[in-house]
Amino acid sequence: MKKLFVIRKRLIKQNRDLKFNCFLFDWDGCLVDTLPIWFEGMHKGLAHFNIKAPEDMIKKGFQGWDIFTQLGVSDMGVFTKQVYRYINDNLCNVKFNEGVISTLIQLKEKGIKSAVVTTTEREKVFSVLDRLNMMDAFDCVIGRNDVKKLKPDREAIDRALALIEGDKTSTAIVGDSEVDILAGQNAGISTIWFSSAENKNFHPHINEQKLNPDFTINRFHELQKFF
């Protein structure tokens, strides 16, 4: 498997004009501007336990919530309820990132398949899509309640590709975090890291060389060069 991964990386580097006919998108921070909301929600969760922590430590929660037990959270169930209460109260404020809607429209016009693969509950995604009249934007949505193992495991990717009959050799995952890129690498598909200036504020610890995505974009409309 490792040898095949190295060969695929070599082929991608030799073909920087690679085009894809299927895209899998992360939700939070990639398609929608929710990182500030999640960050504040994590603040609220810690405040419930009277825990104060440096912002950089809290931001590590975007890669995994194990950090909060290390910070002293004694009941992750209660912490999660506090965070999700804040998220639910602010779903009405969620908007797509700049360039997302026009890109999704072009994908539809060109007949290119697309799906959402997220660790957020599917219902939360549908709530935003419905409010923004974008329910038909994707061929499927795979949320945390649809899989047994979350990203960086490959399960969500495999499930999405099975549902939309996507071909791994012409599929790319687009995401803003380590778990998105690792999930794509684990599934054997191409990876595109969405590293906007806004997102860097919430992922200051990500090292691009160590992350090793196949491609990096800084604005969402740059994705158009891949289809």
pLDDT given for residue 5 in this prediction: 52
Peptide bond into 152 cis (omega under 30): yes
pTM assigned to the model: 0.90
**Are the beta carbons of 97 and 33 closer than 8 angstroms?**
yes
Residue 146 Rama label (left phi>0; alpha psi -120 to 50; beta): alpha
**Are the beta carbons of 95 and 88 closer than 8 angstroms?**
no
Q: Where are the domains of the chain?
A: 2-33+96-226, 35-92
CA angle 116/24/127 to nearest 5° reads 15
CATH class entry, domain 2-33+96-226: alpha beta
pLDDT given for residue 63 in this prediction: 84
Mean pLDDT in order along the chain per 10 residues (227 residues): 52 67 98 97 98 95 93 98 96 96 97 97 96 97 97 98 97 96 98 95 88 96 96
Amino acid code (one letter) for 213: P
